[in-house]
Structure 1
Amino acid sequence: MAEVDSSGERGVISALFNSAGLEDEQPAKRTNKRGQQTRERLIQAAADCFTEYGYTRTRVSDVVRRAGNAQGNFYRHFSSLDDVFLEVLRPGLEELSAVSPKRSGDSAELSSLIDTNTSYLHSYARHRHILRLLREAAASSPNDGFQALWLTVRGDFVARTYRWLVRLEAAGKIDSGDHELLAETLGCLTEQLAYIHVGLPAVTPRPERIDELGKALGEAWYKLVTGSAG
């Protein structure tokens, strides 16, 4: 059964942001309760605006108008539009980081892989608009750090999958092989299926459809990892 554990994931995502050159390592400014509410309102308004207008067409003026705040309030909490965009991205990236092969322990059982991949796709569906925006930002601003962030997040998934495969081999549950290439293959398979069948549709797929996709993806992982044709 896939274990969803968010402990420490905020630190993981912050580290990924930093490695992509997108987040200052200085601690966040302390704010009172009212200030925190304003900050959260701005983040939600930004999420709505990015979803409605896209990454490239959203402006600070759109965000503050949606939040019902003055523009000066925005800059008390965020240094730029990209700064608030990172906070919009954070929950989805944290949740996806918490649902991955590393949470399956040292198991390559079919039922475990189906559960893990199904959980991943349901998490992807909950944040699909924002994840689609990250790809847009990566494509439209390759020099602004978001392409580096997308590649870093993707690379982290592949690296965790690789370490999981190494553990499986050490436990005698799979044969030796090119685990780096296999981890990359599994990452590409998962990424494309999630993006095309969950992220791109005009309407969020039904839960039953996501379950079907998770089952198919889990079966594909099982065959590739164990070498089973069944």
Structure 2
Amino acid sequence: MPTQKERNAETRRRLLSAAREVFAEKGYAHASVADVAKRAGRAHGSFYLHFANNEAVLQALLEDAMAQLSLESKTLWQWDEPESGVHKTVRRFIEAYGEDRDLWLLLDQGSSLESTFKKLSDQWFHKLATSIMHGMASAGTPALMPGLDPEVLAQVLAGMLSDSTRALYQENPSWTPDELADEISTIWSLTLGYDQVSTSPTDHA
């Protein structure tokens, strides 16, 4: 027999899943707590045992998606095969973003209206840029121009990846995820020199 903790976890999972469906169907602005509770097969009052309102539900959904995307986008770069690692990292980011495209669209919409979601968006971008900077540090940057700040460059690369991926899934351009991954990883590799110079354990040290 499930414990109370397990039952609570299941109810929370059902509410999150139901909210995602309702938000997609009706739009976040038109979804009600009653809609979410009904879709989850739970009493209206049980909703408030887990969430204060729909904003809290959406925030939880976004935080879960961000945690997963952060895990997926952890650098795969290695000093011996940085160019291959860059492509794998970029490709998986694009795939993971596509799997939760409905939530990222809601985040974009919410960021322009509510400070809570703007803060989440800013935090996520900072995490992405930090992950890229760590990847650059671990693999080395043989072609990095003297005086160029790696932190600033990481933010530029993060903006390129996140904005291009957003356009891919929200604006329906003619390019495919594979084409986008190839283009971005090629630009990154050229910028950082991975296609010209092979690093070594000595160089990395």
Task: Output the amino acid matched with 1:166.
Answer: A
3-state secondary structure, aligned to 1:195: helix
State which of 121, 126, 144 in structure 2 corresponds to 1:155: 126
State which of 62, 65, 68 in structure 2 corresponds to 1:92: 65
- Alpha-carbon distance, 1:55 to partner: 2.7
Map 1:133-152; keep pairs closer than 5 Å.
133-142=106-115, 145-152=116-123
- Alpha-carbon distance, 1:107 to partner: 5.8
What residue ranges of structure 2 are gaps of 5+ in the alignment?
Answer: 197-205
Separation (CA, whole Å) in 2 of partners of 1:101 and 1:181 = 19
Count of aligned pairs between the two proteins:
192
3-state secondary structure, aligned to 2:30: coil
Separation (CA, whole Å) in 1 of partners of 2:27 and 2:187 = 33
Separation (CA, whole Å) in 1 of partners of 2:25 and 2:166 = 18
Map 1:1-230; keep pairs closer than 5 Å.
31-100=4-73, 102-106=75-79, 109-142=82-115, 145-169=116-140, 173-175=142-144, 176=146, 177-201=148-172, 209-226=176-193
Structure 1's consecutive aligned runs of 4 or more residues displaced over 6 angstroms after TM superposition are: none
Task: Output the amino acid matched with 2:49.
Answer: R
Separation (CA, whole Å) in 1 of partners of 2:171 and 2:62 = 17
TM-score of the pair, normalised by structure 2:
0.81
Whether the aligned pair in 1 keeps the contact of 2:61 and 2:103 (CA below 8 Å) is: yes
- Alpha-carbon distance, 1:126 to partner: 0.5
TM-score of the pair, normalised by structure 1:
0.73
- Alpha-carbon distance, 1:164 to partner: 2.5
Q: Structure 1's 224 and 174: CA in aligned 2 closer, same or farther, altered over 3 A?
A: closer
What residue ranges of structure 1 are gaps of 5+ in the alignment?
Answer: 1-29
CA RMSD of aligned residues (A): 2.7
Larger Rg: 2
* Greater CA drift, 94-103 or 131-140: 94-103
